[in-house]
Amino acid sequence: MTALLEVIGASRTAQGRDIVADVSVALRPGEMLGLIGPNGSGKSTLLGMMAGLLRPCRGQVRLNGQPMERLRRRQIAQHLALVAQSAETGDRITVREAVELGRTPWLGPLRPWRPEDDAVVADALQAVGMAHMAARDWSSLSGGERQRVHIARAHAQAPRILLLDEPTNHLDIHHQLGILDLIAGLSLTTVIALHDMHHALRCDRIMVMREGRCVAFGPPVDVLTPALIRDIFAVEAELIPHPGGGRPVFAFQRLA
Ligand SMILES: Nc1ncnc2c1ncn2[C@@H]1O[C@H](COP(=O)(O)OP(=O)(O)OP(=O)(O)O)[C@@H](O)[C@H]1O
């Protein structure tokens, strides 16, 4: 079966060094794939290649079996939405207008804006708890509110694949968990770069990156062993059963 999105031996070089090196992965339909790794390990670069924004120097990314470089931006955007780290949006627009931008790949001379687009935008605003701020100037929002609007914009794009670069950055704990629940509830195929190991435990599979390479891959409880965490992050970690019966929790201690 053709994978929705497949990365085949992809590498990306900058200033003479591989910042992503020989990474391969085929996304499974509906899965949440987490990317974790230290700062600068290549997570954002890999997401950029998956989104068709960065071209691999070697290897290939395929969307529905088609080489990404053969597809037009609009075709890509009908399949895939990216929520980049600290993404910016033009200044003098309202929150609703920022989310309406998500409908762009579906509009054209023969497909004008319709009432159903209004409904999609309203749903997306509702889903991230920003409906009450729809008329606000986007530039007046806090960092966390902007992040939620970016996720609403991606949601309104109605993609099959959602790529998110540290989407819980800037968010308070209530909204962190809310956004992760929202993302899981969308039942899309999702790739999510994360720093929080507890968030990583919610993923179906995780890829651990170091210096551009995939160094471990699989279900989080199999991959996030104390030995791996010590090796990759120089932190002593213990996975402790949750007293309330939920997902286990990590206790961390920094190694000198
Ligand atoms: N255009 C570029 N030119 C030179 N180096 C670059 C370029 N883009 C990225 N890099 C470097 O490539 C490495 C990987 O960067 P990337 O942003 O992909 O890492 P990351 O894992 O997402 O990091 P973080 O967790 O800090 O967000 C970093 O060392 C970064 O400085």
The per-residue pLDDT for range 171-219, each reduced to its tens digit, is 889 889 888 988 888 889 999 999 999 999 999 999 999 999 999 999 9
Calpha distance 11→22 (Å, rounded) = 5
Asked if residue 256 and residue 148 are part of one domain, the reply reads no
Asked if residue 90 and residue 39 are part of one domain, the reply reads yes
* Distance set, CA 66 to CA 6, 27, 52, 62, 113 (Å): 10, 14, 12, 5, 29
Asked if residue 239 and residue 217 are part of one domain, the reply reads no
Q: Whose alpha carbon is nearest atom 29 of ligand 1?
A: 40
Question: What is the pLDDT, as a whole number, of residue 89?
Answer: 63
Could you tell me the distance, in angstroms and rounded to a whole number, from the CA of residue 56 to the centre of ligand 1? Answer: 14
Asked if residue 156 and residue 181 are part of one domain, the reply reads yes
Q: At what angle do helices 173-185 and 143-156 cross, to 10 degrees?
A: 10
Tokens of 96: 């609703």
User: Cβ contacts of residue 21 below 8 Å, gap of 6+?
Assistant: 11, 42, 211, 212, 213
Ligand 1 neighbours by CB, cut-off 6 Å: 14-15, 19, 37, 39-45
Q: Which of 41, 168, 197 to mutate to test the pocket of ligand 1 (most atoms within 8 A of CB)?
A: 41
Q: Whose alpha carbon is nearest atom 7 of ligand 1?
A: 14
Asked if residue 203 and residue 131 are part of one domain, the reply reads yes
Q: Residues 44-64: pLDDT tens digits?
A: 999 999 999 999 999 999 999
Question: Which neighbouring-strand residues pair with 137?
Answer: 94
Confidence check: pLDDT of 115 > 80: yes
With 0-12 / 13-18 / 19 or more C-beta atoms within 10 angstroms meaning exposed / middle / buried, residue 8 is: middle
Asked if residue 248 and residue 129 are part of one domain, the reply reads no
Asked if residue 17 and residue 141 are part of one domain, the reply reads yes
Tokens of 27: 């996304």
Q: Are the beta carbons of 206 and 220 closer than 8 angstroms?
A: yes
Question: Which neighbouring-strand residues pair with 8?
Answer: 60
Asked if residue 81 and residue 51 are part of one domain, the reply reads yes
Give the domain range for residue 155: 5-221
Asked if residue 189 and residue 236 are part of one domain, the reply reads no
3-class SS at 206? Answer: strand
Asked if residue 244 and residue 213 are part of one domain, the reply reads no
Ligand 1 atom closest to 166 (CA): 27
Ligand 1 atom closest to 42 (CA): 18
Give the chain's domain count: 2
Confidence check: pLDDT of 125 > 90: yes
Asked if residue 217 and residue 120 are part of one domain, the reply reads yes
Q: ipTM for the complex?
A: 0.97
Confidence check: pLDDT of 86 > 80: no
Asked if residue 211 and residue 230 are part of one domain, the reply reads no
Distance of CA 239 to the CA centre of its chain: 25
Q: Name the more confident of 253 and 61.
A: 61
pTM of the model: 0.94
Calpha distance 161→154 (Å, rounded) = 10
CATH of the domain at 211: 3.40.50.300
Could you tell me the distance, in angstroms and rounded to a whole number, from the CA of residue 40 to the centre of ligand 1? Answer: 5
Q: Which of 11, 17, 23, 43 to mutate to test the pocket of ligand 1 (most atoms within 8 A of CB)?
A: 43
Tokens of 182: 């929202």
Per the prediction, the chain carries an average pLDDT of 93
Ligand 1 atom closest to 38 (CA): 25
Q: Are the beta carbons of 250 and 236 closer than 8 angstroms?
A: no
Q: Whose alpha carbon is nearest atom 6 of ligand 1?
A: 14
Q: Whose alpha carbon is nearest atom 5 of ligand 1?
A: 14
